[in-house]
A and B are shown apart, each in its own frame.
Chain A
């Protein structure tokens, strides 16, 4: 069976006043139906840009490489230019949810009106049908008094309810792929647990594919089947969630885990990854992580070796130089 989504060799560059920057370089990912791919990495690592590429939502100063492919349901999204085609990836087959639900809702339009409008664009149904689908979806995500909420504005809802309403709107068109960009980052842990459980139930029920972006490895452990670890635009390691979290190979993945306060291991010191993420304008040559890597060897090869993932265990891929240096250092 072919994958629901296959991203192949994607580069994303932006032309800015300060020059051309590489936000994403040579990444390849797959998502199957019913599968959650977690993307984790510090801010600026290219997670949101990757997700937006799938909906072609990056702005006008963006360029994609010629040989890149984003195959969704057997079509290359990067070739889409017509309104009809773009509709498919913007609310049709693909929907996106965000950290800030107000990003999904126009402040002056009622929640229900927005849901109905979206459905009428994407589905061949009438207004009444759209209304009943919307109200059912609001109920499905756990919103009490769905009929009343349907006629309210987003700002009138509490934080947790707004998050649910955004999820309801994103799901009402029954997308095949859901892009969730830090949807729980601003929430209290209690509400985060509710939203995570809701998203997991819905994925199971509708068998959609999901890309779940977060900088929180705990959240990744709870929702993802597979994980891709991104640093400065590159995927440095990817594989099944259990493998990546329990048997990490790349120094960056290990660094993230060592910096994380684990409530079950209070004696472990919190070890920051030394240094700062370089600006994408000064992206290091060779291994992108070498300016912060504890195993970096200035005389070694890491400035020259091309980054490339190799398979170390079944399905567990790590950047080749990571392994070479790891073995040396």
Chain B
């Protein structure tokens, strides 16, 4: 296992769905048979349109969503934690080691909590510190690392800008001294300048605190800039995965190619080069059989039409994996 911090093995997450009490029960296939390994110290990116299952997968890895089948293993220095096989004590320890950065903590928390209280809450809930003094020290320490003004700890977050709130959110996620962080759309709502600032901060904290990230974003330009490995998700499946530069320079899957070409180029002379994808992502209630992207694929091969192909990644270059049906 050595290099890896997280192994996701054949993980699927289904949700039960019933339109109303007389209709028949159905399954939402949010995440299907995912296999990924996240290396220690990596900035692992997960991209795809909304509804592709990114948040569900991120939450499953944190133990916040039940895993319907498969397993997630967290390889700590001393021992492994197997997510589907943890007792209460394990779960408690795992919570300290794996944390989520909320997109906006203020939206999820009481407006009467001060910045200090928001950051301190995980320490108190997980009973990590033994005295108020110790809690305050930890809060001040992490706030400084996140470049928050110590003077501001007594204030309420509604007075803060989007960038400052995001720093509060990061400090809260880091205060328990975790090793693994899931950042779910952490820069999505920010202006470009603040976005650049937060991305630089995440990078810096990664080195300083030896963090490993799962960075979820729908913005490919951002992911290309910060991530070293990227997985592209569509309708619950990873359709392509590989080292970031290789994947962006040399995309193999039709979906990755279409996504990349949809990014609006900053060059006004490069207009209308987008491979326009028709329609929208289908419902996860009834994913198409065979290749899940088939209903929108701009250039399906002859073999794709039947829909009998089983999806699954195959390695085309060292570390660069593509759904096998798109390679065939």
Q: How far is the CA of A197 from the CA of B200 in the complex (A)?
A: 33
Cβ < 8 Å to A, chain B residues 131-171: 161-164
Residue of A nearest to B269 (CB): A242
Cross-chain contact A266 with B269 (CB below 8 angstroms) = no
User: Per-residue CB proximity of B256-273 to A under 8 Å, as 1/0?
Assistant: 001110111111110110
Q: How far is the CA of A59 from the CA of B46 in the complex (A)?
A: 42
Residue of B nearest to A240 (CB): B268
Interface residue? B191 (CB, 8 A): yes
Cross-chain contact A261 with B197 (CB below 8 angstroms) = no
The stretch of A130-138, A171-179, A252-260, A298-306 in contact with B is A252-260
Cross-chain contact B221 with A215 (CB below 8 angstroms) = no
Taking CB atoms, residues of chain B closer than 8 Å to A242 are 268-269
Knowing A189-B263, A190-B262, A216-B264, say if A272 contacts B221 (CB, 8 Å): no
Interface bracket on A: 35 or more
The stretch of B27-35, B208-216, B274-282 in contact with A is B274-282
Residue of B nearest to A158 (CB): B280
User: Per-residue CB proximity of A189-212 to B under 8 Å, as 1/0?
Assistant: 111111011000000000000000
Interface residue? B73 (CB, 8 A): no
Cβ < 8 Å to B, chain A residues 151-167: 158-161
Cross-chain contact B272 with A197 (CB below 8 angstroms) = yes
Cβ < 8 Å to A, chain B residues 182-211: 191-197, 199-200
Residue of B nearest to A160 (CB): B280
Interface residue? B238 (CB, 8 A): no
Cross-chain contact B280 with A272 (CB below 8 angstroms) = no
Q: Chain A at the B interface: mostly helix, strand, loop or mixed? A: helix
Pick from A158, A160, A256: contact of B192, CB under 8 Å: A256
Cross-chain contact B265 with A190 (CB below 8 angstroms) = no
Interface residue? B248 (CB, 8 A): yes
Q: How far is the CA of A237 from the CA of B184 in the complex (A)?
A: 35
Cross-chain contact A42 with B262 (CB below 8 angstroms) = no
Pick from A215, A222, A259, A270: contact of B265, CB under 8 Å: A222
Pick from B192, B245, B268: contact of A221, CB under 8 Å: B268
Interface residue? B225 (CB, 8 A): yes
Q: How far is the CA of A271 from the CA of B194 in the complex (A)?
A: 10
Cross-chain contact B191 with A193 (CB below 8 angstroms) = no
Taking CB atoms, residues of chain B closer than 8 Å to A49 are none
Cross-chain contact A190 with B225 (CB below 8 angstroms) = no
Interface residue? A263 (CB, 8 A): yes
Interface residue? B84 (CB, 8 A): no
Q: How far is the CA of A104 from the CA of B245 in the complex (A)?
A: 42
Cross-chain contact A193 with B221 (CB below 8 angstroms) = no
Cross-chain contact B276 with A259 (CB below 8 angstroms) = no
Knowing A256-B193, A270-B196, say if A193 contacts B267 (CB, 8 Å): no
Cross-chain contact A266 with B194 (CB below 8 angstroms) = no
Knowing A221-B265, A276-B161, say if A263 contacts B195 (CB, 8 Å): no
Interface residue? A245 (CB, 8 A): yes
Q: How far is the CA of A260 from the CA of B200 in the complex (A)?
A: 13
Taking CB atoms, residues of chain A closer than 8 Å to B221 are 218, 260-263
Which of A161, A255, A262, A272 is most buried by chain B, counting CB atoms within 10 A of its CB?
A272
Cross-chain contact B264 with A218 (CB below 8 angstroms) = yes
Taking CB atoms, residues of chain A closer than 8 Å to B219 are 189, 261
Q: How far is the CA of A42 from the CA of B248 in the complex (A)?
A: 28
Cross-chain contact B197 with A272 (CB below 8 angstroms) = yes
Closest CB in chain B relative to A78 CB, distance in Å: 30
Closest CB in chain B relative to A227 CB, distance in Å: 9
Interface residue? A217 (CB, 8 A): yes
Which of B200, B221, B259, B268 is most buried by chain A, counting CB atoms within 10 A of its CB?
B268
Interface residue? A43 (CB, 8 A): yes
Q: How far is the CA of A106 from the CA of B164 in the complex (A)?
A: 35
Taking CB atoms, residues of chain A closer than 8 Å to B200 are 270, 272
Knowing A221-B267, A222-B271, say if A189 contacts B193 (CB, 8 Å): no
Q: How far is the CA of A222 from the CA of B277 in the complex (A)?
A: 17
Cross-chain contact B268 with A262 (CB below 8 angstroms) = no
Closest CB in chain A relative to B278 CB, distance in Å: 8
Taking CB atoms, residues of chain A closer than 8 Å to B199 are 261, 270
Closest CB in chain B relative to A129 CB, distance in Å: 31
Interface residue? B252 (CB, 8 A): no
Cross-chain contact B50 with A245 (CB below 8 angstroms) = no
Interface residue? A169 (CB, 8 A): no
- Which residues of B are in contact with A by a Cβ distance under 8 Å? 49-50, 161-164, 191-197, 199-200, 218-222, 224-225, 245, 248, 258-260, 262-269, 271-272, 274, 276-277, 280
Q: A219-B264, A260-B221, A272-B196 are in contact. List 18 more A-B contacts (CB 8 A).
A: A189-B263, A190-B258, A191-B49, A192-B262, A192-B264, A218-B265, A222-B271, A224-B268, A242-B269, A246-B268, A256-B193, A257-B266, A259-B192, A263-B260, A264-B265, A266-B248, A271-B196, A276-B163
- Which residues of A are in contact with B by a Cβ distance under 8 Å? 42-43, 158-161, 188-194, 196-197, 215-219, 221-222, 224, 241-242, 245-246, 255-257, 259-264, 266, 270-273, 276-277
Q: List 17 A-B contacts (CB under 8 A).
A: A161-B280, A189-B218, A190-B262, A192-B264, A193-B262, A218-B265, A222-B265, A224-B268, A246-B267, A246-B268, A260-B266, A261-B195, A261-B219, A270-B200, A271-B196, A272-B200, A276-B164
